[in-house]
Structure 1
Amino acid sequence: MDSPPDRLASRGDAVLQSTEELVSTLAKPTFTQSSRNLTTNTTAVEILSIGPNTSLTGVSQLMTSNVSVDIDLLGIARNNNGSASVVVIVYKRMHEVLNASHFKKEDSGATATMMSNVVSITLPNTHIKTLPQPINIRMKHLKNVSVQDKRWCVYWKVSSWIQDGCRVSATNSSHTTCSCDHLSTFALIMTVDDNLKSDPVMSILNTILVLIGLLFLTLAVMTFALCRWNPRVSNVARLNLCVCLLLAHSLFLLTQNFIRRIRAHQVLCSVLAGVLHFLFLSSFVWMFIEAVMLFLSVRKLRQVKPSERVWLQWKVTVPIGYGFALIIVGVSAGVNPEGHGSEKCWLVEGFKWSFLGPVCFLLVVNTILFVIILITIQSTLKGVRSDVSKVKYTRVLLFKLTVQFLILGCPWLLGMGAATSRVLEVLFLFLASQQGTAIFLIHCLLNTEVRCQYRKWWQRFGLSSKQPESGTGTGSGTGTGSISLTQQPSRDT
């Protein structure tokens, strides 16, 4: 037995068919052209017929009850011995029966609403109904809405509204024009993503944390670019990681704060989604490169001399850091051109694994490398004499390793369960946004050479009368890895 919504849809579909059959009988053949209109409490009808001797030129326009239709009736007539008729029926109450509940939304979290009257367009007494060019249907909204809300041009098929062959060609707050390559019964539906109605507290917290992270990312980029570094130190991975994170977080923050304005321009929304896809993927690749370099440094801890280089050359890391992400984004866009540009100007559902797949793989590898690094360092410290210097060194090292865990992006794995728990959501938001803070703290602020350089700049600009320290030290940034492991306490002899 049909459910109530199904029965309503069946009744509505029956009304559509009977009305079209009845109105089609009013279209009479003619040698020139003729038009008729009929208005009742529930429908508005406009009929246009042309014959071989018509004086009409160009595209024909029919207007009735706040709906206008542009159709190439002359082109249709040329395929039908010079004669053709078109009927436009506007149903004033049918949108309450064939409502938006019959529309299959792409996003289950969105709310759909009917935004126009239901409009049927038919070609009675016409054998070849192929359209020479798409028709344009301009419909007035049932209520004025923001231009940023998502609209869908749909047509009725058996028991549901679908959008194949129809698209929005123009829109404003009061009207929308649909372009369709076939004739049927049409309507306009608006969807609003309920997920976009975010918690204002979380939104403010997100903005504050991201801005703090961006500040320290900017300071880190300036430091890596302007400071004179020990020749044994390679900051290529860290500098590129900071640049990618800085651009990605900045663009993401701007996109989400102006999402409704950006979403009104689908091309711009898709482009931004593609750029974000590339920047975040590149960031994770650079995190992986940083993890590999740290692993190589720690593995050779006991054998490598202080002057020996163990890092990867920039000619190798730069193509890997950006090429891997570029290939994935390019292939993804080629396989599914409509995969970029969801309601949130990100990846559409079912396409997110083009991002999550590589990211999960890189994060798992980083986590494994980090565990190996911890085991290697622990075994190394066993040979160090147990005294006050070892205890102090161990505490500093543990702190640096904890922060390094954040720099390598391992906490991003928390994002998998962030949607299920507010605590996890806040923790993930904090850790993911503060990678720049961690990089600046470990590789800049706790680096003796960098602090000395800061003091020189401070004095140069007249901000301090204190002279910089004479020694440069070897600080936390003098090793080839992210953590200085060359200044260990003396070993037992």
Structure 2
Amino acid sequence: MTNSSVDIDLIGIAKNNIERSAAVAFMSYNSMENLLKPDFFNTSNDTIKTMMSTVISATLPKTTNTKLTKPVNFTFRHIREFDPNSSLSCVYWNISKWIEDGCSVLKTNSSYTVCSCVHLSTFALIMQTSRPPESDSLMDLLNLVCVIVGMVFFSLALLTFALCQWSPGVNNVARINICISLLLAHLLFLLTQRFLSLIRPQQVLCAVISGLLHFLFLSGFVWMFIEAVLLFICVKNLSQISSKKREVLSSGFLCVIGYVVALVVVCVSVGLVPEGYGSEHCWIKQEKGFIWSFLGPVCVTLALNIIIFVKIVITLYSTLKNVNAEISQMKQTKIMVFKTLAQCVVLGCPWMLGFFTNGSKVLEILFLILNSQQGTFIFLIYCVLNHEVRQQYRKFFRCLYCEHKKH
């Protein structure tokens, strides 16, 4: 497969010559770009310049009148991967540098670019990409520390939910899966950012990672909605969910809902905008409003949760008038309503803060801390602030202390 081709009006040129004939000499230099480097293309903006084609040369030998009757078109096959966010320039060599006077891009796709020029010379295609912003070492360190701390508390919360004994009416399925989804998302995010320089050039891998992050974060929000629904059922019944209800809302059924909904959203997003994944940081791209494939479901989930919480408050208020309601059960239910509402605010609202950062360092730091410490919040509000769990912690640490004294 040839890397380049030329389309020139030789018939028109021949008519303008006494000889009534014309021929074009077209040459392609396979390694000339190593000598005539893209850095010799001087531009006002500071960009990374990449040679996207072999260097070619076109001349009209033994032709008296070399004036072109029509612009000549060159088709360049890309010799490197094309970045859709970059800009292409059709250039020609002038003594000691590349310039683009009289040349322009006619059309382009991911594999080929057609250049149109009003003269013959030595030509090439150069791609310009924006330089990545300089890394902020302080922000990188803060990000690393905050995410690791958050992951530690996610792990502690998971261990607490799994190993501690809970009241019969407490259903931790949603909370466990919230922790699993967000722990995996933060772990994947942390590893991706640590090895971004290696992952970023692999566009397919970067897109897969951003799709997985999309799925895991959405799963966390779906489970948050499921927990609100379970709480509404609990408040409505003011007792342990009946056996019939338990069959309908079994752990297996909840897991299907919790993960399949997020999977469907990601699959539909891939189907509609397949190039929407794989930004510079291996996250969802902003182009074509594709970020709403994440923010849209988040807003819908938060809106539904607010509706459910309003309904819960109304139901609780009417139930308080019922003298037959158990005081202890009512107190526990009100505490759970408060905790779940607080969880909804802490897990959901920081993502809305992302709309307003706009380069503000203070808001970026606030966004980073709030999002990374979701595990810390879950551990504090459901484990540390739970009297029964604290009692089991004390018992566990007393046993450890006694074992240590024996040895």
Q: What interval of TM-score do these two structures reach, taking the shorter chain for normalisation?
A: 0.5 to 0.7
Question: Which has the larger displacement, 348-357 or 213-222?
Answer: 348-357
Matched, 1:434 2:354: no
Q: What is the CA-CA distance between 1:361 and the residue it aligns to?
A: 1.0
Q: What is the CA-CA distance between 1:375 and the residue it aligns to?
A: 5.2
Q: Secondary structure at 1:188's aligned position in 2?
A: strand
**Residue 262 (structure 2) aligned to one of 325, 331, 340:** 325
Q: What is the CA-CA distance between 1:237 and the residue it aligns to?
A: 0.8
Structure 2 vs 1, CA of residues 122 and 217 (structure 1 numbering), >3 Å: closer, same or farther?
Answer: same
Contact 1:122–1:183 under 8 Å retained in 2: no
Structure 2 vs 1, CA of residues 374 and 332 (structure 1 numbering), >3 Å: closer, same or farther?
Answer: same
Alignment size in residue pairs: 350
With the length of structure 2 as denominator, give the TM-score of the two structures.
0.68
Q: What is the CA-CA distance between 1:318 and the residue it aligns to?
A: 1.0
Matched, 1:362 2:292: no
Q: Match of 1:262?
A: 199
**Residue 114 (structure 1) aligned to one of 36, 49, 62:** 49
Q: Match of 1:72?
A: none
Q: Match of 1:156?
A: 90
Counterparts of 2:384 and 2:296, CA distance in 1: 34
Matched, 1:165 2:109: yes
One-letter code of the match for 1:187? Answer: L
**Residue 41 (structure 2) aligned to one of 72, 95, 98:** 95
Structure with a larger share of its residues in helix: 2
Contact 1:406–1:435 under 8 Å retained in 2: no
Counterparts of 1:431 and 1:465, CA distance in 2: 38
One-letter code of the match for 2:277? Answer: H
Q: Match of 2:6?
A: none
**Deviation string, structure 1 residues 57-113 (Cα, Å, up to 9, x no partner):** xxxx73464459xxxxxxxxxxxxxxxxxxxxx6989823xx486xxxxxxxxx634
One-letter code of the match for 2:356? Answer: G
Question: Which has the larger displacement, 237-246 or 315-324?
Answer: 315-324
Matched, 1:305 2:243: no
Counterparts of 2:353 and 2:105, CA distance in 1: 39
Matched, 1:346 2:283: yes
Q: Match of 2:129?
A: 191
With the length of structure 1 as denominator, give the TM-score of the two structures.
0.57
Q: Match of 2:226?
A: 289
Counterparts of 2:145 and 2:335, CA distance in 1: 29
Counterparts of 1:215 and 1:162, CA distance in 2: 55
Counterparts of 2:339 and 2:32, CA distance in 1: 71
Counterparts of 2:241 and 2:79, CA distance in 1: 74
One-letter code of the match for 1:335? Answer: L
Counterparts of 2:366 and 2:389, CA distance in 1: 30
Counterparts of 1:319 and 1:430, CA distance in 2: 31
Counterparts of 1:207 and 1:130, CA distance in 2: 51
Contact 1:150–1:191 under 8 Å retained in 2: no
Counterparts of 1:91 and 1:204, CA distance in 2: 37
Could you say which structure has the greater relative contact order, defined with CA pairs below 8 angstroms and 6 or more residues apart?
Answer: 2
Q: What is the percentage of aligned positions where both structures have the same residue?
A: 44
Q: Match of 2:141?
A: 204
**Deviation string, structure 1 residues 372-426 (Cα, Å, up to 9, x no partner):** 4445556666889xxxx9xx99997897467434455344333332337555444
Q: Secondary structure at 1:267's aligned position in 2?
A: helix
Counterparts of 1:162 and 1:224, CA distance in 2: 62
Counterparts of 2:79 and 2:138, CA distance in 1: 42
**Residue 412 (structure 1) aligned to one of 344, 351, 360:** 351
Q: Match of 1:245?
A: 182
One-letter code of the match for 2:261? Answer: F
